Amino acid sequence: MSAQLLHLGEHETLHIVRDTIDELEVEGTWTPGGSPPPAHYHPSQDEEFEVRTGTLTAVIDGNERTLGPGDTLRIPRNTPHKMYNAGTETATAVWRTRPGLRTAQWFATVDRLSEGGTKRPSGPAMAKAVTSYGDVFRLAVVPVPLRPLVALGLRAMALAAR
């Protein structure tokens, strides 16, 4: 899946540099005007971002940081986070996920559901995707004790997408 350009939304694109079971490396681009994605975490993976240009806002376990050129951010597995461009110029970063597992397939699914970043995926279709890729992506939008209820709700919505 290398050399592939994927859209995670209208303002975020990824160029896959390397995709192995051990590591996924992408070059990410965030254009201005994006909104924060939902808080999420990766149950079995660590992430690392190296900002090249512009600024990125990261919220890690509820703590907000602004990252600029040369800054590196490591996000351990199971840590709720979200990252976006709140600035006025395009931001770029090298983004590594270790191990890579099925993360590239997850990104390709989001790209397909958003029709290359041109539309917002339907709730049932996105619920089905989140449920299908729970090994690499989980929502962290509620307190930990309530997350099993969110997972159950997503599975119910996913049934509507079949």
- HSE, side-chain direction, 13 A CA sphere, residue 41: 16
CATH for 60: 2.60.120.10
pLDDT at 145: 59
pLDDT at 1: 46
Per residue in 86-124, pLDDT tens? Answer: 999 999 999 999 999 999 999 999 999 999 999 999 888
Per-residue pLDDT at 2 exceeds 70: no
Q: Among residues of the chain, what percentage have pLDDT more than 70?
A: 85
The answer to whether the predicted template modeling score (pTM) of the entire model surpasses 0.75 is yes
Looking at residues 137-156, what average pLDDT do you find?
Answer: 69
Instruction: Name which of 29-33, 66-70, 137-141 the model is least confident about.
Output: 137-141
Range of the domain at 51: 5-160
Looking at residues 80-85, what average pLDDT do you find?
Answer: 96
Q: What DSSP line would sit under the chain, residue for residue?
A: -TT-EEEEETTEEEEEEEE-SS-EEEEEEE-TT--PPPPEE-TT-EEEEEEEES-EEEEETTEEEEE-TT-EEEE-TT--EEEE--SSS-EEEEEEEES-TTHHHHHHHHHHHTTTTTSPPPHHHHHHHHHHTTTT-EE--S-GGGHHHHHHHHHHHHHHT-
Q: What's the number of domains the chain is made of?
A: 1
Per-residue pLDDT at 143 exceeds 60: no
> What is the rounded average pLDDT for all residues in the chain?
90
Looking at residues 60-89, what average pLDDT do you find?
Answer: 96
pLDDT at 161: 60
Per-residue pLDDT at 156 exceeds 80: no
pLDDT at 65: 97
Looking at residues 63-67, what average pLDDT do you find?
Answer: 97
